[in-house]
Structure formats: C-alpha cells, structure tokens
Amino acid sequence: FRLKKWKSSVSTQAKMPTCNFVAEKYKSYPYEHMQKIREQNISPSLRMYYKKPLLLHQGHMQWLFDYEGRRYLDLFAGIVTVSVGHCHPKVTVAAQKQLARLWHTTNIYMHPSIHEYAEKLTSFLPDPLKVVYLTNSGSEANDLAMFMARLYTRNFDIISLRGAYHGGSPYTLGLTSVGLYKHSVANGFGCSTVRFLLIFLIIWVTVYLNISTVNISSILKVLCVCHANDQYIEQFKDTLNTSVPKTIAGFIAEPIQGVNGAVQYPRNFLKEAYQLVRERGGICISDEVQTGFGRTGSHFWGFETHGVVPDIVTLAKGIGNGFPMAAVVTTKDIASSLAQNLHFNTFGGSPLACVVGAAVLDAIEEDGLQKNSEEVGTYMLLELAKLRDKFEVVGDVRGKGLMIGVEMVTDKDSRHPLPGEEINQIWEDCKDMGVLIGRGGLYSQTFRIKPPMCINKKDVDFTVEVLNTALQKHMERAAAK
C-alpha cells in the first residue's frame, strides 16, 4: 500500500540557484582520451564515482564545472576537504604571493610562515594543546599520533571504534574498521575495536541539537539517550576487559564518524570513555580530520561538543581547503617523547602549506563560516527530516552543522540497508540534476552531505528539491516492478 501513491508523475526538475561566476572554456584532452589514460596509466585502486565518471574542469566556492560547462553543487567538498570554498579568493591570493616568494625549504631552517602558522593554529586550541607537528595527510597525522602515544606511554595497544576511518596507511589500517578499506595483508597489530550497536540515534540527535524533529516526549528522549550511553560504555568496558592488556597506549575516535555516515555517539559517551582509557594509562586522541575547523557549527573542534579535552588532536582535509597538509597537535610532554630520536618530515610545514593554512583560518573567521555551518546545517537537517517523514526508504537523517548523513533503508521497520543498485540510481539521478553527494556507512547505504562551509539556504532548498525528485523516481520504479 505504500507504493500506490507514487503512481503520479515525478515533479518538475528543481531550478539551480544562480551563480555569477563564468568558468573558463575547457581546452585539455577529449573525454575519451582522458578515459584511455585513466585505464592505462593511473592505478585501478583509484576508483571513480558514477556510471559515466565526471571530468571536472574548474571550481568556484560551492560550485564545480565539468568539461562541457555543466555546473554542479558540490555537497561532498572533495571528500570533506574543501572547507572555505573552491578556489577561495583570499586563500588563492595568499598562495600566489607565497609561490612567487618561496615554495619550499625543509624545516631544518626557520622561515616565517611556519612560526606564524603554529602560533595562529594553536590559538584556536585549549591548553595544554600547544605543540604542532605538521604533516601532509590525515593518514600520516594519525599514523604519527599512534606512534607518539606508544612512545609516551611505553604501552602498545590502541582502541578504536567500529565504523571508524582513521586512514589507509599500513599503521592506521589497524584503526580503520570499515571492511571496504581492508586488504588481505597483515596489519593492525596492537589495535582493538569496540563494537558499536547498529541503532539509529535520531532521538539523541534531537536532544543534542536542541531541535524537535521527532514527535516524542522529552522524558522519553532522555531515557533513550541514557540507555544508549550505558550500552555503549558496556561495550567499551567489555573490550578493555577482554581484548587488551591492563595498560594501553591510547584510544582514538572521531567526534562524529565521517566515512561511516555521520554517526554520532550518545551524550557523555566520549567523556566516560576518556576516563576509562586514562585509568589504564592511555592517552586520548581526537581525529578532527573531518569534524574540525568549524564544520560542526556550534564549536570550532568536534571534541568541544563532547565536553572533553584530548591529549592529541589530528587535523587534515579542511585545514588546507584542498592543499595537501595536516597536523598533529599535542602537549609539550607528549611531543617531547618524539624528540628522543630523529623524526623527520621533508614537506611537512613548508612555507607554502603554512601560508595556505593561515589563509584558511582567516577565511573561516572573516566569512563567518562556523556560524554559517550551524545555521545552514541546522536548516538542512530540518528540511531533510521532512523527507525522512515522507519516504519509507529514508531511515535516518542525522548530523551536526554541515556534517550530515541520510541513511537509506528498505523500510523503517526492518532498517535493512537499501540494496546497492537502488541507492546507486538515486545517487545518479541527483548527479544528473546537478547535485554531487558522497556515500558512506558500513554497507555504503548512507548519503554523505558535507559541503564547502560557504553554502547557503537557497542551495539547501535546491538540494532538498533534487533529492525529493530522485526519491519520487525511486518510488515510481519500485511501484512499476
């Protein structure tokens, strides 16, 4: 009976918001030649999205342009990496000036930008997180954080969470708990994973955001939150009691799981987990690769939303708005453990990277992007929640700020993931209508919406119209079977 109402025709395609930027004319190889190069000269492990992969040519703020001049609203931001906008003018000008002055000199010499940037970056972090080690990628930053935790504590075992993604290097693969990234080679020595319950946390999210998207009493909300937290902590204690020694090196967690589809934890879970870890002699690492730099809206760092102060923070992606840079920020004592012997990074903290990083911080402040993430992100969550109420296949809408997941299911009773071929078609339809979104979750069942933080409410309205149309098309296909 749920399918009968979808026999009517699909609504008219949504009208894309205006954009005054005019893209340059594409002048490189034809599409077919690019495909041939891809097949012959680029590693097949670098997979591409969509049946007909996009050939992108230019970007401007929240927009991308392909080789034929088609414009797309980018809601995945180069995998949550473009923080302030594609080719943001302030960041671009800063990079151009530094390119003409000094590209690179290794950190065996002093240069102004690394010192200026270290001071600026740490001013955004609470005491005692004031010492920076600059690297080139999030995997490298998390790899180094693991190494520092083991050096400092003289322990070995590190705990992560089911569904976590902390990188693809041989070291960090042990922390990553999404099967798609696992290879059949030995890895993960000394890494244990806490099993997470596969439950929707819509009720907790409404409390967390202080918004009402679920028709349920406040008392019931609080009871569900407390029950979920107790279950999560019991799972954590079970891992501590069965899978690791009495002393451990540390615990790493994203404040909101990114690759797993914007999965959040019950309130107070991280606070209690941090205490348990520290009782075992371990240190706590917050992976802010996706949640940092104002993306969650209410706070600059994701860990602040949980009322905790970690011992190490890892940063990447949005730190450089697409420029390859990352950082590990920690305390002076922990940082000193790495100084016992030489640990060297040729490109980390280059003059160009540091100037770009500083310009990104300036753009976030000057453009009010943290506040925009909160206001536009909350608006998007509320609008997407209407689709959850309308469509049986939208099982959950969750997130905070501009870090949002839309989980697709066969039905809300079973909550089984929607089959891949059905999700793929919805995804393709959104792309064809001009909206690019990501995929995530343990079964790739969640649409990941994590755009440049400069998007506005008109962009949200367009996105919701497009997704509504794509879901209507899906229901019509299902009704026709």
Residue 76 near residue 437 (C-beta atoms within 8 A)? yes
Residues 6 or more apart in contact with residue 205 via CB below 8 angstroms: 213, 264, 398, 399, 400
Instruction: Give residue-wise pLDDT tens across range 45-98.
Output: 888 999 999 999 999 999 999 999 999 999 999 999 999 999 999 999 999 999
Instruction: Give residue-wise pLDDT tens across range 199-230.
Output: 454 433 433 443 333 344 344 444 455 678 88
Compute the average pLDDT of residues 447-475: 98
Residues 6 or more apart in contact with residue 458 via CB below 8 angstroms: 17
Note the pLDDT of residue 226: 64
% of the chain exceeding 70 in pLDDT: 91
Note the pLDDT of residue 10: 42
DSSP string, 48-104: -SSSS---EEEEEBTEEEETT--EEEESSHHHHT--S-BT-HHHHHHHHHHHTT---
- Look at residue 6 and tell me whether its pLDDT is greater than 50: no
What does pTM read for this prediction?
0.92
Superfamily of the domain at 4-88+368-480: Aspartate Aminotransferase, domain 1 (3.90.1150.10)
Compute the average pLDDT of residues 331-338: 96
pLDDT class of 414 with cuts at 50, 70, 90:
confident
Q: What share of the chain is helix, strand, coil (3-state, %, to 5)?
A: 40, 15, 45
- Look at residue 341 and tell me whether its pLDDT is greater than 80: yes
pLDDT class of 372 with cuts at 50, 70, 90:
very high
Instruction: Give residue-wise pLDDT tens across range 235-273.
Output: 999 999 999 999 999 999 999 999 999 999 998 999 999
In 10 A of CB 423, how many CB atoms? 21
CATH of 89-366, one of 3.30.450.80, 3.40.640.10, 3.20.20.80, 3.30.70.890: 3.40.640.10
Residues 6 or more apart in contact with residue 432 via CB below 8 angstroms: none
Note the pLDDT of residue 185: 87
d(CA 236, CA 277): 10
Instruction: Give residue-wise pLDDT tens across range 391-405.
Output: 999 999 999 999 999
Which of 321, 322, 306, 215 minimizes the C-alpha distance to 269? Answer: 306
Residue 404, phi then psi, degrees to nearest 5: -130, 140
d(CA 171, CA 186): 10
Residue 415 near residue 409 (C-beta atoms within 8 A)? yes
Note the pLDDT of residue 216: 41
Which of 285, 276, 274, 265 minimizes the C-alpha distance to 240? Answer: 276
Q: How many residues does the chain have?
A: 481
d(CA 357, CA 138): 15
Residue 257 near residue 288 (C-beta atoms within 8 A)? no
Pairing state between β 131-135 and 438-440: unpaired
Residue 392 near residue 2 (C-beta atoms within 8 A)? yes
Compute the average pLDDT of residues 289-301: 98
d(CA 166, CA 188): 12
Note the pLDDT of residue 7: 42
Which of 42, 120, 76 minimizes the C-alpha distance to 317? Answer: 76
Task: Give domain limits for the chain.
Answer: 4-88+368-480, 89-366
